[in-house]
Structure 1
Amino acid sequence: MTELTSLTIAEARDRLKAKEFSAVELTDAYLNAIDAANDKLNTYVVTTHDKAREMAKASDERLGAGNGGALEGIPLGVKDLFATRDIHTQACSHVLDGFKPKYESTVTQNLWDAGAVLLGKLNMDEFAMGSSNESSYYGPVVNPWRAQGSDKNLVPGGSSGGSAAAVAAHLCAGATATDTGGSIRQPAAFTGTVGIKPTYGRCSRWGIVAYASSLDQAGPIARDVRDAAILLKSMASVDAKDTTSVDLPVPDYEKAIGQSLKGLKIGIPKEYRVDGMPEEIEKLWAQGVAWLKDAGAEVVDISLPHTKYALPAYYIVAPAEASSNLARYDGVRYGLRVDGKDIADMYEKSRAAGFGSEVKRRIMVGTYVLSAGYYDAYYLKAQKVRTLIKRDFENVFHEGVDAVLAPITPSSAFEIGDKELASDPVKMYLQDVFTITVNMAGLPGLSVPAGLDGKGLPLGLQLIGKPFEEETLFKTAHAIEQAAGKFTPAKWW
């Protein structure tokens, strides 16, 4: 890693303004790092060399004129779920072969307006469906972390595995990601990075390929808490093109970094102590409690009684919405088209060839729970459970709790092709057990690295906050980060 690629966004921003190096030099350092590492890590599905240099050159001109934006000259990676004008946007699916949109997603447009530079599109689970980044049409992403004394390749988590791995391996300064049931926070935990899923409605969903519209939310993955705060400030906005985006001022999240935790009340949910939880996760959680007490916060036990119903309810709501959203991929106007004897045959053949097995599985589950005779029994009931989960959090916050501290993952990163998980999709779905309640309730959730397990692999802690109170999460996560330190993988690629 060259010195330039090891800088955080905050450091690079300040040094670019001081003219210690140019945006073109910084961008070239990242492009060279990607070219050297991507064969081994498979984080990028497309690298936009010419576009990146052109954007960096424009950044240098603006910096020279003294009118640079908040992210002027900062090179970022973009998850393949975000539409980027005239650039590969396929949600890492075969069904969208060759698709290059004629429009830009609101979130990425906000970043370019702030002066950021596009390095390329990042690998992900197909249509954001997965917890390990193994369902991508472009093959699995490899986690830059390895267990001590092992050369086995590990998953980076999913669905934003390319985003998390690229940030951890210093192949971008930061990355966009999305979170439907944990797809920002789980990969961040597996790679020793920081990821925040903001409150539902904080970032526009316009121009992001839809998985489950009532759950999807964009957010950043970054190297530290400050960088995540800087990125979210530029990503978030109200948007007339997305009626679910909320018209609230976007705070300067960076100002929350370093604020005192005195007077803050942190809740510890007893329902998150699940059967068979590894001792290391339990120990890490207790350590997190101790750090927050040392920082001046009050820690109280709380109950979120409907947590146990969250996983089954989520795996009804999300596939139901996915089956509806993915009905548009039919081979008619764009993407993959497999000819058939008539239009129905063409639909069937195009969808059969275009979708991977995990996406097909979720479409079938979703179509089933929405079908006549089952809609009331499954989908409506799941929505009622969702309301109860949201009410649990509301009750806790009403009692004066400012944020909740919980684990993120039941383990550290596992091997690519893990036989047990590959043969049993339900075991893979259990990876989301600690994260999905946040999406079901529409709350903000942040993943912060908190330690290493016995194999030397990163583990994270999760902070869950009140709606639109991301600043509380940033200042609390910063206290954990200060106590735990930062974690970088040893370079082997």
Structure 2
Amino acid sequence: MSHCVGSIPRIGIKADADGGAVRAIRKSGAIPIAVTNTPELCLSFETNNLVTVMVSSGSSVISVSSDIAGSIRIPAMFNGVFGHKPTPGYVPITGHFPNATDPTFDKLLVVGPITRYSEDLRPMLKVMAGDSAGKLRLDEKVDMSKLKVFFMDDAGYSLVAVSVEREIKNLIHKAAKCLNNKYGVPVEPGNFKEMEESVEMSCAVYFSLEGIPHILRNDSNPKESANIYVELLKSLFGFSRYSMQAISFYLLQSFNAFMSKDKIPMYKKQVLDFKKKLTEVLGDNGVFLYPTHPTAAYYHGQSFTRTAGIMYSMIFNVLGLPSTHVPMGLNKKGLPIGIQVVAGPHQDRLCLAVAEILEQEFGGWVPPPSS
């Protein structure tokens, strides 16, 4: 199947073998039918691939997807379906492109399921995780009466933050109230001030990664390498072979996201400290309700000006925590909205259990109109 990953210079490249997760799914009886929406090198929101919304429209039963900053959960949010970002290290990422030689990359990138129904997440994850699935205790029944629930409806103050829409904030509170009413579990605001620096912490990790493939550079023949500034200018007028989002990523990377180099170690330490704190707070019976993305789906071309919205999803890649996007109906414009349920490391079953409850209470996936 296609392995061009949405990149014109890679047109015609086919995968010579199944990736680890796809191999496991195929072995269990699934039949791959298409490689669908993939922005260039998985570096942005958007794509011009016309094979879209396969799961949400009912064209496909399930999807095997990757997530390095939200690419399971954000599409699930925009299309009104379920998507689970597993704890890293359980589902194989072999065969994924792009990859990197930096060992941190394997802790950021995960492969996981997208489904229309929450009940399909668990069996998919079991199959994809293979021999490692037992460590996640996915078959172990979750005692909901012992659950602890924390929530935040926005990240707090940040210079670059995209405001969370009121309807999404309301869903956070409705979900928390639902779990409290149904099971009598304690519910309290998270008040994690560290979230205000989600962008800084995340950028310190992402933009210091080494060994990332560079589509503009030809190492075998440097004279054929493209000039990033020329390509950026060409992309403004639609003449570049590369997407503006991909070019912008490499521009940010070359300047460390315009972050002072002496601050990068500080933010990386802050990531470790926050992970330790959040892991201790959540324990083995806590969940954290948080916006998956601050808004419903954008118009095509609009995401470039709202890229900072990924701060709500990518922070959990950086922290290495499992997270499930849960669709919870449509907004007043008829667009899907929902929230993410986060748990401590290796506690994926808590995310999935809460997703199943919220689907029962709020309806989950809403079929698209027939005309």
Q: Aligned partners of 1:360, 1:95: CA distance in 2, in Å?
A: 14
Larger of the two Rg values belongs to structure: 1
Preserved CA contact (<8 Å) 1:196 1:445: yes
SS at match of 1:195: strand
Whether 1:272 and 2:165 are equivalent positions in the alignment is no
Equivalent runs, 1:39-50 vs 2, <5 Å? none
Q: For 2:223, which of 336, 345, 361 is the aligned residue?
A: 345
Whether 1:181 and 2:69 are equivalent positions in the alignment is yes
Preserved CA contact (<8 Å) 1:389 1:440: no
SS at match of 2:211: helix
Q: Deviations over 1:116-152 (max 9, x none)?
A: 1010111211111113x2xx3xx1558xxxxxxxxxx
Runs of 5+ in structure 2 lacking a partner? 232-239
Preserved CA contact (<8 Å) 1:211 1:318: no
Q: Aligned partners of 1:203, 1:254: CA distance in 2, in Å?
A: 17
Q: Give the aligned partner of residue 416 of structure 1.
A: 300
Residue 378 of structure 1 deviates from its aligned partner by 4.8
SS at match of 2:326: strand
Letter in 1 for 2:71: S
Q: Aligned partners of 2:290, 2:337: CA distance in 1, in Å?
A: 12
Q: CA RMSD in A?
A: 2.9
TM-score, length-scaled by structure 2: 0.85
Q: Aligned partners of 2:133, 2:265: CA distance in 1, in Å?
A: 30
Q: Aligned partners of 2:149, 2:39: CA distance in 1, in Å?
A: 33
SS at match of 1:460: strand
SS at match of 2:342: strand
Residue 95 of structure 1 deviates from its aligned partner by 2.5
Whether 1:130 and 2:23 are equivalent positions in the alignment is no
Residue 349 of structure 1 deviates from its aligned partner by 7.3
Q: Give the aligned partner of residue 234 of structure 2.
A: none
Residue 380 of structure 1 deviates from its aligned partner by 2.9
Residue 285 of structure 1 deviates from its aligned partner by 1.3
Q: Give the aligned partner of residue 393 of structure 1.
A: 278
For the structure 1 residues 378 and 207, does the alpha-carbon distance in structure 2 shift closer, same or farther, using more than 3 Å as the test? farther
For the structure 1 residues 329 and 267, does the alpha-carbon distance in structure 2 shift closer, same or farther, using more than 3 Å as the test? same
Residue 312 of structure 1 deviates from its aligned partner by 2.5
Q: Aligned partners of 1:488, 1:382: CA distance in 2, in Å?
A: 42
Q: Aligned partners of 1:379, 1:207: CA distance in 2, in Å?
A: 30
Q: For 2:17, which of 83, 103, 106 is the aligned residue?
A: 103
Whether 1:482 and 2:365 are equivalent positions in the alignment is no
Q: Deviations over 1:267-304 (max 9, x none)?
A: 12476356843321221111111211133032122232
Residue 386 of structure 1 deviates from its aligned partner by 1.9
Residue 411 of structure 1 deviates from its aligned partner by 1.6
Q: For 2:203, which of 315, 320, 325 is the aligned residue?
A: 315
Q: Give the aligned partner of residue 302 of structure 1.
A: 190
Equivalent runs, 1:346-365 vs 2, <5 Å? 346-348=224-226, 355-365=242-252
Q: Give the aligned partner of residue 433 of structure 1.
A: 311
SS at match of 1:167: coil
Preserved CA contact (<8 Å) 1:199 1:443: yes
SS at match of 1:295: helix
Runs of 5+ in structure 1 lacking a partner? 1-86, 143-161, 239-246, 334-342
Q: Percent sequence identity over matched residues?
A: 20
Letter in 1 for 2:299: E
Corresponding residue pairs, total: 351
Equivalent runs, 1:203-352 vs 2, <5 Å? 203-210=91-98, 213=105, 214-237=107-130, 249-251=134-136, 253=138, 256=141, 260-269=143-152, 272=155, 276-296=163-183, 297-321=185-209, 324-327=211-214, 330=217, 343-348=221-226
Letter in 2 for 1:217: V
SS at match of 2:338: strand
Q: Aligned partners of 2:139, 2:130: CA distance in 1, in Å?
A: 16
Residue 391 of structure 1 deviates from its aligned partner by 2.6
Letter in 1 for 2:7: S
Preserved CA contact (<8 Å) 1:403 1:472: yes
For the structure 1 residues 192 and 185, does the alpha-carbon distance in structure 2 shift closer, same or farther, using more than 3 Å as the test? same
Letter in 2 for 1:483: E
Q: Aligned partners of 1:328, 1:129: CA distance in 2, in Å?
A: 11
